[in-house]
Amino acid sequence: MHKTSEWLLSFTSDGQPRSSSQAQVLTKKFQPCFKIAITGGKGGVGKTSIALKTALEMARSGFRTLLIDCDSNLSNTAIKLGLPLDNKFEKLLSSEISFEECVIQRGNLHLLPACNGSNEIFDSKLNFDQIITDIISSHEHEYDYILLDCPAGISRETLTLNAYCDYRFVVVTPDKSSITDSYSLIKVLSQKFAIKNNHLLVNMSQNDKQLQKVVTTLTETVKNFLGVRTHFLGSIPKLDVSGEEFDTFFLSETKSAWHKNFVKLLYEFTEKSGGLLAAHESGRNQMALEHDVH
């Protein structure tokens, strides 16, 4: 296993790769834990909702799943699950508590929430990307999938985390500014971190024509201008539910076509990524969630 600090050091200060070793790390054929960044550049496109739903479904399928909230001081994962906010993450950073004490465990799903309006986090001089990559390298042997719920924006810290992951689910809505922001994210990832592959997840699509336009526009533009490949993961139709009911509906396991569509796109991904095969081999895929999060 490579050391995280070595990986971070493989980039120069302007983000250029120093050697081909980083590319080798990112393209290794087999690994026991797949790391996925749920990202997208634009705010409010559904990154946190999708990261949570993905984590819940992976856990329900028997995968040992860790979701790390990377929105360090505007953490939304716990609140969307109806869990209390406690800013325990501050204490993890100051080594007052352990990772196990900070993580919320619900059967196969483990959640590491971050903070909400913490002055300590605001004042902290720590590099958040290094903290997260160190946590991952210490615990990845315990999980089949580690998901990162990324904040909006294309800060160096966020993009370093994106590049560190094996996969990036770029969440885009049909909104023009979402497409523009995701292009910017893919561009900087390509030019500063040599990332040439991403997955595209179109959220809040309202019809096939609109969906096709988003997929073609983004896929063709990043291919022609950046030489980057986009793997279309699927689309999540826009839900017509009120704000208050949104989280419950989005995250619940229901018999709806909408839920089945989400599970199908995830199943196709896990099958392709080899995770499903790995879980079959270890007999874990039949395990059920011990407790439901709701």
Residues forming contacts to Mg ion in the complex (CB under 5 A) are 47-48
**Any idea how long the chain is?**
294
Provide, rounded to whole angstroms, the least separation between the CB of residue 66 and ligand ATP. 18
Residue 24 to residues 146, 156, 259, Cα–Cα distance (Å) = 20, 21, 36
CB of 186 to ligand ATP, least distance (A): 16
Rounded distance between C-alpha atoms, residue 48 and residue 113, angstroms:
12
Partner in contact with 62, chosen from ligand ATP, Mg ion, none, beta carbon below 5 to 8 Å by kind:
none
Which residue lies nearest Mg ion, judged by its C-beta? 48
What is the closest distance, in whole angstroms, from the C-beta atom of residue 151 to ligand ATP in the complex? 6
- In 3D space, the residue among 186, 216, 190, 188 whose CA is nearest the CA of residue 202 turns out to be 216
For ligand ATP, the closer CB: 4 or 182: 182
Q: Are strands 145-149 and 104-106 parallel, antiparallel or unpaired?
A: unpaired
Binding-site partner at residue 44 among ligand ATP, Mg ion, none, CB < 5 to 8 Å by type: ligand ATP
Question: Who's near 181: CB < 8 A, 6+ residues apart?
Answer: 40, 41, 42, 154
Kindly state the smallest distance separating residue 229's Cβ from ligand ATP, in Å.
23
Which residue ranges make up the site for ligand ATP (CB under 6 A)? 43-49, 71, 76, 151-152, 203-204, 236, 238-239, 243, 246
- Residue 90 interacting entry, from ligand ATP, Mg ion, none, C-beta within 5 to 8 Å by type: none
Decide which of ligand ATP, Mg ion, none touches 57; Cβ closer than 5 to 8 Å per partner kind. Answer: none
**Minimum Å distance from CB 258 to ligand ATP?**
8
Residue 228 site contact among ligand ATP, Mg ion, none (CB < 5 to 8 Å, cut-off depends on kind): none
Of the candidates 262, 269, 253, the one whose C-alpha atom is nearest the C-alpha of residue 168 is 269
C-beta closer to ligand ATP: residue 262 or 269: 262
Order the strands of the 197-205 sheet from edge to edge.
104-106, 109-112, 65-69, 145-149, 34-39, 167-172, 197-205, 229-237
Q: Which is nearer to Mg ion, 182 or 190 (CB)?
A: 182
Nearest to 65 by CA among 141, 167, 144: 144
Q: Which partner, ligand ATP, Mg ion, none, binds residue 35 by CB below 5 to 8 Å per kind?
A: none
Closest distance between Mg ion and the C-beta of residue 70, in Å? Answer: 9
Cα–Cα nearest to 161, from 175, 144, 145, 149 = 149
Cβ atoms of 276 and 267 within 8 Å: the answer is yes
